[in-house]
């Protein structure tokens, strides 16, 4: 895991000159860095509370307290040579140390790589190889994951010595010899000003699953992230209570919602590290906070909980939905409860393409994914695939071949999603070309799971598709043609195999269907669109 230059070999594109000029002329791209945006926002909101709800690492303070620690961490990192172009991998739950790390990295101009806290050695190993970090920040463990053991094994198999900061209350002698206690980095004098950087340079790499066997590294610049934060501020609902962020900050949008949007809005930061509906409802009652966005599961888990009361409902005046399939039955239910629902469409690559606004007609808000947002464009090609471009569209993948396939010469990005547009310009997502499942807002690559399941001796052929899920929107479903019908493959078999392969638990299929054969094209290729229809409609021919 050498660290010669994180950007070596990355597939960064040149935005067409006319587009770049337009974004600057319209004021969407500015000379601000992420560090200067953070500094200005924290200066305005210094007095507001920063609160973490956690059974293992709670925190209460002010944004000024956290900013002071972030600036001390920034000074300590700078003293170790971390600066513009350096990569900081951050795999932490929704804890205050995640904010300190994110803001400190912004102050020194480093590139932040958020990693979802439940990612295992398979995914993390790929991310380390792809980004060659100078700094890695982890807990000693969280949930089922022993991060100390995981990273010791990863370092041993790769070589190289990044600075490994561990958030832990253990005595230092109980940590690995190459681990530095996070709190030891907070004693330096605070960095007074953000480091100057080129606003067109990379600042965040978000890894997302999709059509590839390995997570894709999506690279954003200071310009694209700056506009995305302001874009979200434009269309997210206003006027409700402060929000609690339960989406993992290791997820691209979770990080923006937790550590950037509150700074633009001068709002407090409230985090919870495990989405436990009972804990969320208690937090809402105690601190007067609400939720206002995310996958449908976040809302349904609260509405269905026995502790939910009219007082909680009053703290959810509106709900923005995205990041997962949004069933019409769900939007209608929320509306009947008195919650104003609106939908949006985007991805890690292009976070904010379309959205409805709260003032839009109810039918549009409930049944479409909205109209093009300021600074964003979309069109459909002859097959109905959605192409987009905009000031918050990413600047490339860490894999240059993926970048070359994703963009045309005019800067249009192929989303892999299919859509329809009504006469008023509202877009509705109808299907995916991309082989991806969105479980509770987290992208899961069907190909990644299929490649691992094909290594099972009893599996002759397998196709992984999305199956509807009342809580999560959808989950992975494995449709298997076994080698021997007398030896059926069970969910338990599949999960044991994927656990041994090191695949993160949320990616494991939650159902298995056995078939004698698949729907196929004339050339024998599995017709996934038909398979998805059969799974959704409960008409899958189970011939075994």
pTM: 0.83
Measured CA to CA in angstroms, residue 496 lies from 19, 467, 476, 504 at distances of 49, 21, 16, 12
Give the range among 54-63, 394-403, 522-531 with minimum mean pLDDT: 522-531
Q: What is the mean pLDDT of residues 405-422?
A: 93
Structural contact between residues 477 and 446, judged by C-beta atoms closer than 8 angstroms? no
Query: In which residue are the tokens 């464009």 written?
Result: 377
Residues paired with residue 245 on neighbouring β-strands, in sequence order: 271
24-44 tens-digit pLDDT: 999 999 999 999 999 999 999
The predicted pLDDT at position 294 comes to 77
CATH architecture of the domain 11-50+62-222 equals 3-Layer(aba) Sandwich (3.40)
- How many other CB atoms are found less than 10 A from the CB of residue 175? 16
For residues 343 and 419, give the distance between their C-alpha atoms in angstroms, rounded to a whole number. Answer: 14
> How would residue 50 be classed by pLDDT, with cut points 50, 70 and 90?
very high
430-480 tens-digit pLDDT: 776 667 788 877 778 787 888 899 889 888 888 898 888 877 888 999 999
The predicted pLDDT at position 321 comes to 81
The predicted pLDDT at position 6 comes to 60
Give the range among 50-64, 158-172, 310-324 with minimum mean pLDDT: 310-324
The predicted pLDDT at position 436 comes to 77
Q: Class for domain 226-432, per CATH?
A: alpha beta
Question: How far is C-alpha 196 from the chain's CA centre?
Answer: 27
For residues 462 and 471, give the distance between their C-alpha atoms in angstroms, rounded to a whole number. Answer: 25
- In a 3-state reduction of DSSP, which class is residue 474? strand
The predicted pLDDT at position 261 comes to 95
Assess whether pLDDT exceeds 80 at residue 251. yes
Structural contact between residues 194 and 209, judged by C-beta atoms closer than 8 angstroms? no
> How would residue 219 be classed by pLDDT, with cut points 50, 70 and 90?
very high
Measured CA to CA in angstroms, residue 365 lies from 258, 326, 345, 424 at distances of 25, 11, 12, 13
In the chain, CATH 3.30.300.30 sits at 436-537
In the chain, CATH 3.40.50.12780 sits at 11-50+62-222, 226-432
Assess whether pLDDT exceeds 70 at residue 537. yes
Sheet containing 511-514, strands listed edge to edge, beginning at the edge strand earlier in sequence? 459-469, 473-482, 511-514
65-101 tens-digit pLDDT: 999 999 999 999 999 999 999 999 999 999 999 999 9
The predicted pLDDT at position 4 comes to 46
Rounded to the nearest integer, the mean pLDDT of the chain is: 90
User: What does the angle CA 348 – CA 351 – CA 357 come to, to the nearest 5 degrees?
Assistant: 150
> How would residue 183 be classed by pLDDT, with cut points 50, 70 and 90?
very high
Per the model's pLDDT, the better-predicted residue between 227 and 117 turns out to be: 227
The predicted pLDDT at position 479 comes to 92
pLDDT over 90 percentage in the chain? 67
Please state whether 181 falls in left (phi above 0), alpha (psi between -120 and 50) or beta.
beta
511-527 tens-digit pLDDT: 999 988 888 755 556 77
Structural contact between residues 389 and 377, judged by C-beta atoms closer than 8 angstroms? yes
Per the model's pLDDT, the better-predicted residue between 53 and 523 turns out to be: 53
Assess whether pLDDT exceeds 50 at residue 18. yes
Under DSSP, the state recorded for 220 is E
Structural contact between residues 453 and 492, judged by C-beta atoms closer than 8 angstroms? no
Q: Class for domain 436-537, per CATH?
A: alpha beta
The predicted pLDDT at position 205 comes to 97
């Amino acid at each position: 895991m050498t660290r010669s230059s994180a950007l070596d070999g990355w597939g960064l594109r040149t935005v067409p000159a006319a587009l770049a000029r337009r974004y600057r002329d319209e004021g969407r791209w500015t000379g601000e860095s992420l560090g200067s945006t953070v500094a200005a926002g924290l200066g305005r909101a210094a007095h507001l509370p920063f609160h973490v709800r956690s059974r293992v690492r709670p925190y209460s303070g002010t944004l000024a307290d956290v900013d002071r620690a972030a600036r001390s961490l920034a000074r300590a990192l700078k003293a170790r040579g971390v600066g513009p172009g350096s990569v900081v991998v951050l795999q932490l739950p929704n804890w205050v140390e995640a904010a300190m790390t994110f803001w400190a990295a912004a102050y020194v101009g480093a590139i932040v790589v958020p990693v979802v806290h439940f990612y295992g050695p398979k995914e993390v190993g790929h991310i380390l190889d792809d980004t060659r970090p100078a700094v890695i920040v982890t807990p000693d463990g969280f949930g089922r994951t022993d991060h100390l053991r995981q990273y010791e094994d990863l370092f041993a198999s790769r070589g190289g010595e990044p600075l490994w900061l561990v958030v832990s209350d253990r005595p230092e002698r109980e940590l690995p010899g190459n681990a530095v206690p996070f709190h030891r980095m907070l004693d330096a004098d605070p960095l007074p000003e953000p480091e100057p950087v080129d606003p067109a340079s990379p600042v965040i790499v978000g890894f997302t699953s999709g059509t590839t066997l390995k997570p894709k590294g999506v690279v954003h610049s200071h310009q694209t992230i700056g506009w995305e934060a302001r874009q979200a501020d434009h269309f997210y609902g206003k006027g409700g209570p402060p929000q609690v962020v339960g989406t993992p900050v290791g997820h691209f949008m979770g990080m923006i919602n937790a550590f950037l949007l509150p700074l633009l809005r001068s709002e407090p930061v409230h985090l919870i590290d495990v989405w436990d509906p009972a804990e969320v409802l208690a937090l809402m009652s105690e601190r007067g906070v609400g939720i206002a966005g995310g996958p449908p599961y976040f809302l349904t888990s609260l509405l269905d909980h026995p502790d939910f009361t009219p007082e909680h409902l009053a703290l959810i005046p509106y709900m923005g939905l995205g990041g997962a399939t949004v069933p019409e039955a769900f939007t209608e239910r929320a509306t009947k409860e008195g919650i104003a629902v609106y939908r949006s469409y985007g991805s890690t690559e292009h976070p904010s393409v379309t959205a409805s606004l709260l003032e839009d007609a109810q039918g549009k808000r409930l049944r479409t994914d909205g109209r093009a947002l300021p600074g964003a464009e979309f069109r459909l090609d002859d097959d109905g695939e959605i192409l987009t471009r905009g000031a918050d569209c990413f600047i490339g993948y860490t894999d240059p071949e993926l970048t070359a396939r994703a963009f045309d010469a005019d800067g249009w990005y192929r989303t892999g999603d299919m859509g329809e547009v009504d006469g008023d310009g509202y877009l509705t997502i109808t299907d995916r070309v991309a082989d991806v499942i969105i479980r509770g807002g987290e992208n899961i690559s069907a190909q990644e799971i299929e490649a691992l399941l094909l290594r099972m001796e009893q599996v002759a052929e397998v196709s992984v598709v999305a199956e509807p899920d009342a809580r999560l929107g959808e989950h992975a479903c494995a449709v298997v043609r076994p080698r021997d019908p007398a030896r059926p493959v069970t969910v338990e078999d599949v999960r044991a195999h994927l656990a041994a392969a090191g695949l993160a638990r949320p990616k494991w299929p939650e159902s298995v269907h056995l078939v004698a054969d698949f729907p196929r094209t004339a050339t024998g290729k599995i017709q996934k669109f038909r398979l998805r229809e059969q799974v959704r409609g409960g008409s899958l021919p189970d011939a075994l």
